[in-house]
Amino acid sequence: MKPVFTIMSALLLAVIATVNSCPPSDRAALLAFKAALHEPYLGIFDSWTGTDCCHNWYGVSCDTESHRVADINLRGESEDPIFERAHRTGYMTGFISPEICKLTRLSSITIADWKGITGEIPKCISTLSFLRILDLVGNKISGEIPYDIGKLNRLTVLNIADNQISGRIPASLTSLSSLMHLDLRNNKISGPIPRRFGRLGMLSRALLSGNQISGLIPGSISRIYRLADLDLSMNKISGSIPASLGKMAVLATLNLDCNKISGTIPPTLLTSSIGNLNLSRNGLAGKIPDVFGPRSYFTVIDLSYNKLSGSIPRTLTAASYIGHLDVSYNHLCGRIPAGAPFDHLEASSFSHNHCLCGKPLRAC
């Protein structure tokens, strides 16, 4: 009886192991995904062996109940021992195979900072209905954002910064009602910001700098109640600044520098919750609104390289804090007010204006 019992136990353990391992279809999809990539230095794919891709496959995690592959987390910059032993960051070439879309229960895809991955974002990515995180930052991925990316209604993070993505921001992106973090920085994206951008009601960070985005700033952005960080710098945006941006409840950082923005500075921006305001290198004209007061708290106000005229507002001395102020390269004139914050600012903050005088410049 003992040999029979041993055989039965072995069979039972084999059945349990099979039930608790990933499906063969998921394993096949991962191996096809791996086949499109080449990582010559760290050997991160050396662990992708055996039949159970849920167990000790580097960067792969599975759902504990369904045993389907749920997460792919491959970062080229990490504190993992494999990087410490190699004394280097990762470098990977190849492309992201559409076979990844056969992992239909994926919740997160992180393939970040590998520097050499090319190709396009697989268009089928929009079929992964459970996807919450898509992080492809720091590669050489080209092509366009999938036009129907708005189908990913669970997506909370979309980070494709530091790539070579081109084309327009698809209108469907504004349907991502769960999106909280959007990072499109440093690509080749062109065209306008979708007019209905304000539909992204859960968004807290919108980082779009370093592209070729044109057109106007949509007024609908001001309806995003949770938005704290808006960076549209280093683009080709034109038109005026919507005054409604200064009425946003939690907006703390507004970077609009290096665009083609014209018009005047809305007074609402200077009486708002914004603490880091950069409007430099645009075509703003008119006077700096004289609306500062005890509730004004700015770590940075940069208005340099514009066409501003008139004098420096005296109410700036009533602000509770101004860490850094730069009004250089404008058409300002008159006496620089005495006292804080002017007593700790350098002459370069006021240089290249028409006729400013007083400390830290020459005496009037």
DSSP string, 90-139: --EEEE--GGGGG-TT--EEEEES-EEEESB--GGGGG-TT--EEE--SS
Residues of the chain with pLDDT under 70: 1-20
The pLDDT score that the predictor gives to residue 85 is: 87
What domains lie within the chain, and their CATH numbers? 34-357 (3.80.10.10)
Answer whether 0.75 is exceeded by the pTM: yes
Per the CB < 8 A criterion, the answer to whether 284 and 332 are in contact is no
The pLDDT score that the predictor gives to residue 7 is: 45
The pLDDT score that the predictor gives to residue 342 is: 85
Element (H, E) at 223: none
User: In 3D, which of 68, 66, 169, 86 has the Cα closest to residue 128?
Assistant: 68
Q: Which residue has the tokens 């501003």?
A: 308
Per the CB < 8 A criterion, the answer to whether 216 and 195 are in contact is no
Dihedral-angle region of residue 29 (phi above 0 means left; psi in -120 to 50 means alpha; beta otherwise): alpha
Per the CB < 8 A criterion, the answer to whether 213 and 234 are in contact is no
CA 135 to CA 231: how far, in whole Å?
Answer: 19
**Buried residues in 318-332 as b, exposed as e (16+ CB within 10 A):** ebeebeebbbbbbeb
Instruction: Retrieve residue 265's tokens.
Output: 């500075």
User: In 3D, which of 167, 125, 124, 107 has the Cα closest to residue 142?
Assistant: 167
Per the CB < 8 A criterion, the answer to whether 184 and 169 are in contact is yes
pLDDT tens, 191-205? 999 999 999 999 999
Nearby residues of 42 by Cβ (< 8 Å), 6 or more positions away? 82, 83, 86, 88, 90
C-alpha to C-alpha distances, 25 to 22, 57, 102, 261, 271, nearest whole angstrom: 8, 16, 8, 52, 58
Per the CB < 8 A criterion, the answer to whether 193 and 170 are in contact is no
CA 25 to CA 348: how far, in whole Å?
Answer: 64
CA 45 to CA 58: how far, in whole Å?
Answer: 7
**DSSP-based three-state secondary structure for 313:** coil
The pLDDT score that the predictor gives to residue 19 is: 54
User: How many C-beta atoms surround the C-beta of residue 49 within 10 A?
Assistant: 11
CA 171 to CA 50: how far, in whole Å?
Answer: 43
